Chain A
Amino acid sequence: NAGVMQNPRHLVRRRGQEARLRCSPMKGHSHVYWYRQLPEEGLKFMVYLQKENIIDESGMPKERFSAEFPKEGPSILRIQQVVRGDSAAYFCASNRDRGNEKLFFGSGTQLSVL
């Protein structure tokens, strides 16, 4: 049973470009969470999705950031018009049921904005 898969592992973008980060949850998991880790910081919650629904996006910046988890395919975190401050590691976690007490994390995508 493969773990949570995130790709790409590293993503380099120039300012103003778009970044798309993909997350395939563990098999049988329908709950996906995105967290962001700034340098020398802990992870911070961004958004919680179930299949086709955004449940909690209280940690998402109001502009330029969006997330989806379609019925088929991976969850996508999309950042439009990236800026240097978006440089961070973005982690996805999944769970079979609703609940954060036992999340399975991916290895993250390191986004670098030049």
Chain B
Amino acid sequence: AQTVTQSQPEMSVQEAETVTLSCTYDTSENNYYLFWYKQPPSRQMILVIRQEAYKQQNATENRFSVNFQKAAKSFSLKISDSQLGDTAMYFCAFIKNRDDKIIFGKGTRLHILP
């Protein structure tokens, strides 16, 4: 069975700093999808970034980028120039194919301090 592990329950950084959130996963699949979702206090689940395992290039979305290490089964999220609006829970997630259900990690609560 696939698992997703986020080892940092909570983190705090100063505004404008760079922060990296860790995620590891376990699977025997070769092709799959990985995601980072953001859940602000409004509770809305917002897709931040998506990575397809067969793509070697790391995905980026503006200030958000990932470090995808397939052999190590690691998928960390880097937030550059952090902003107060980045304060949220961040969930790492995995699906082995498009038809599969999403498996979420337990989340990392990120506080951006003014």
As a 0/1 sequence over residues 2 to 16 of chain B, the CB contacts with chain A under 8 angstroms (1 = contact) are: 001000000000000
Interface size on A, residues (CB 8 A): 26
Tier of interface size on chain B: 20 to 34
Q: Evaluate contact between A101 and B43: CB separation under 8 angstroms.
A: no
Nearest CB on A from B53, distance (A)? 12
Q: Choose among B42, B50, B91, B107 the residue that contacts A101 (Cβ–Cβ < 8 A).
A: B50
Contact A43:B45 (CB < 8 A) given known A59-B101, A98-B98, A101-B50: yes
Answer whether residue B61 sits at the interface, using C-beta atoms and an 8 A cutoff. Answer: no
| A93 surroundings in chain B (CB, below 8 A) | 45
Closest to B45 in A: A105
From known contacts A41-B106, A42-B107, infer whether A101 and B101 are also in contact, taking CB-CB under 8 Å: no
Q: Report which B residues bind A (CB closer than 8 A).
A: 4, 33, 37, 42-47, 50, 91, 93, 95, 98-107
